[in-house]
Amino acid sequence: MTTTAAPATMDDVAALAGVSTSTVSRALRDSPLISPSTRERVQQAAAQLDFALSRAASALATGRLGRIGLLVSGALSTWFNASVLDAAYATLREAGQELVIYSTKDDADRSDFFARLPAQRNVDALIVASFQLRPEEYARLAELSVPVVYLNQQVEKSASVFIDDVAAAALGTRHLVNLGHRRIAYVTTRDPEGFTFSAARRRDGVEQAVDQHNRSRPEDPATTWTVTVDATGGGIEVGQLAVGQLLGGDTVPTAVVTESDEVAMSLIPALQRAGLRVPTDVSVLGFDDNVLAPLFDLTTIAQPVAELGRAAARAALTLSLHGAEALEQPHQQLPTRLVLRGSTVVPRPAA
């Protein structure tokens, strides 16, 4: 079935190159304390024997694990998580580090993680991706003997990399208000685990933009309200449920802001099946700039997900290698921008 020949050991390499194991170790790690010629010879011997250093043994000897953890909530296959993972992985890999995933799909996973703290002594740093923790959980992470980097949330005494969700959502909402929309619904999903709390901040942004408009133009007020859907995931259910609530209420919106592109992309076909044209009857604004957003011609607020992942990984590397003092910007805010596509237009005169 599968080969199981014993792999070469460092001694084999040392013997083949005619040196000691210390020399092999140094040569393989490109230590400056070694002559180019023996280094070359050793590396060839290692290649010839398919020898690779045991990371476990190196870790034990040096005290550096060469591994950085990524704590994620929800499925790894959501666009956000997968994009962050992809970017963080690439950055760590360039630095010769591995990425260890700690994924918590449900409350059980989550309590388990916080009860056992498996990251303790097993990674050099931990990135906590975009989800809200309970106060005791923050406390728990602070007790960790490993530096933590928060992604998409600011945490007082830790490093963090994030966007301004409130400002971003306000920006998008202003765009709708400026187009003339006065009935703007915000669609969010119920979040069973208390995860993805960015959604709440985005709602604040929507309300903020509407309030601001109403203060400056009280004679032409806009209203906004929130519709919370009891479903998650990228399927069509979210959209269908949202449509029901959107059309079943007292007022029907002329524009909808969604917590994410995934929700928007689910909503658009659902609206269409309900007989509403997008954008003619309803404008739809997304959040993320998911790769798929262009397929729906979706106007959206872009957040630099890959850059968030990279920045978090870089911060984690810096913290693990050089400590907190070495981190120039403990709190890094990354820019968002409005990406104009075809899903948002001036509301119909009738409206």
Partner DNA sequence: CTGTTAGCGCCTTCAG
Partner DNA sequence: CTGAAGGCGCTAACAG
Per CB under 7 A, residues contacting DNA are 9-10, 18-23, 25-26, 28-29, 32-39, 53-54, 57-58, 60-63, 121
Residue 193 binds which of DNA, a second copy, none (CB < 5-8 A, kind-dependent) = none
Binder of residue 35, out of DNA, a second copy, none (CB less than 5 to 8 A by kind): DNA
> Encoding tokens for residue 203?
């709602």
Query: What is the smallest separation between the CB atom of 167 and DNA, expressed in angstroms?
Result: 45
Q: Which is nearer to a second copy, 236 or 276 (CB)?
A: 236
State the Cα–Cα distance between residues 149 and 124, nearest whole angstrom: 11
19 makes contact, choosing from a second copy, DNA, none, with CB < 5 to 8 Å by partner type, with DNA
Pick what 2 binds: a second copy, DNA, none; C-beta below 5 to 8 Å, kind-dependent. Answer: a second copy
Here the tokens at position 16 are 């083949």
Closest approach of DNA to the CB of residue 48, in Å: 15
Task: State in angstroms the smallest separation of the CB of 1 from a second copy.
Answer: 3
Task: Please name the residues in contact with 12: beta carbons below 8 A apart, sequence gap of 6 or more.
Answer: 49, 51
Q: Which residues contact 1 (CB under 8 A, 6 or more apart)?
A: none
* Partner touching 33 among a second copy, DNA, none, CB below 5 to 8 Å by kind: DNA
115 vs 350 by CB, closer to a second copy: 115
CA-angle at 184, arms to 180 and 189, nearest 5°: 150
Measure the CA–CA gap between 185 and 222, rounded to whole angstroms: 11
d(CA 132, CA 270): 30
Q: How far is the CB of 38 from a second copy (least distance, A)?
A: 19
For the bound state, the minimum distance from the C-beta of residue 200 to a second copy, rounded and expressed in Å, comes to 25
Measured from the CB atom, the residue of 20 and 333 that comes closer to DNA is: 20
Determine contact, residues 81/127, Cβ cutoff 8 Å.
no
Q: Where are the alpha helices (DSSP H) in 278-348?
A: 305-322
CB closer to DNA, 42 vs 257: 42
Task: Output the CA torsion sign for 279, 284, 285, 289.
Answer: negative
